[in-house]
Structure 1
Amino acid sequence: MTTTLTVRVGDGTDTRQEARERIRALERGEEMEDRHVLVLEDETALQRLLSPANLELLGAIREHEPESMRATAELVDRDFKEVHRNLTELDALNVITLEQDGRAKRPVVRFDELDIELSLSSGDRDAAPA
């Protein structure tokens, strides 16, 4: 089963409304698919998320499940300090979690794919699809 993280850009208003509607549906006993949504505040945050370095890290972590940040750096053959910075950024964006594992922090990606929803209308940045 594929787990998708839906990424939106905006203030989160429509996403919060959608969540309230989903809660009401669950209260009525309706079955709902799991939905994982991340709302980024602006296009700059989206650009950071989608940088080639971050996408490479996400793929390597998802595929190989490294035991530490250092092991992740070795997987992608990059400097540890750069990888540490990127992983900290991805953690701050809530796309990965850094789980304490003894003295190491293990990066974990809980999604198989990203679904990017971006409105081209500035007044509609957080609109949910119809």
Structure 2
Amino acid sequence: MTTLKVKIETLEETLSRAAKAWKSAEAGQEAAADESLAFASWDLMHRVLAPKRLEILRVMTGQGAISMREVARRVDRDFKGVHADVELLLRNGVIDRTADGIVFPYDRIHVEFDIEAAA
């Protein structure tokens, strides 16, 4: 089962994770694949993964490549609105475009974030 981990982390945390992976690769250590998508804030994550877009991902999960028209049919929405949402998901790296259509190459999504006390 392939899982996309959605995280909220700072740029520094993202760069630190990338640096650790780079060092491991240079040392010849095989690192486990980290299929993750990081957002700088809750607001940004919620803008990209709004409820209607999550519904698009839900109907695409495990389906392989499908057309935008088929996605619109499955979520019972007009093509224009689905097209705009799909384009946003493509620009943010959540889904991919192939010669056969669009694809969400994961079987599930795991969202992880911390909520801290206000300063």
Taking structure 1 as the reference length, the TM-score comes to 0.75
Distance in 2 of aligned mates of 1:64 and 1:39: 24
Which residue is 2:68 aligned to? 69
Q: Which amino acid aligns with 1:109?
A: F
Distance in 2 of aligned mates of 1:34 and 1:74: 34
Q: Which amino acid aligns with 1:108?
A: V
Distance in 1 of aligned mates of 2:10 and 2:84: 26
Q: Which amino acid aligns with 2:14?
A: T
Structure 2 stretches lacking a partner, 5+ long:
none
Which residue is 1:44 aligned to? 43
Partner SS for 1:63: coil
Q: Which amino acid aligns with 2:81?
A: E
2:62 and 2:105 in contact (8 A); partners too: no
Structure 1 stretches lacking a partner, 5+ long:
123-130
2:62 and 2:107 in contact (8 A); partners too: no
Distance in 2 of aligned mates of 1:112 and 1:6: 11
2:9 and 2:41 in contact (8 A); partners too: yes
Q: Which amino acid aligns with 2:79?
A: F
Which residue is 1:25 aligned to? 24
Distance in 2 of aligned mates of 1:66 and 1:27: 35
- Do the aligned partners of residues 110 and 12 (structure 1) sit closer, same or farther apart at CA in structure 2, a change above 3 Å counting? farther
Count, aligned residues: 118
Identity between Structure 1 and Structure 2 (%): 30
- Do the aligned partners of residues 10 and 66 (structure 1) sit closer, same or farther apart at CA in structure 2, a change above 3 Å counting? same
1:10 and 1:42 in contact (8 A); partners too: yes
CA RMSD of aligned residues (A): 2.3
Distance in 1 of aligned mates of 2:99 and 2:82: 17
Distance in 1 of aligned mates of 2:60 and 2:12: 31
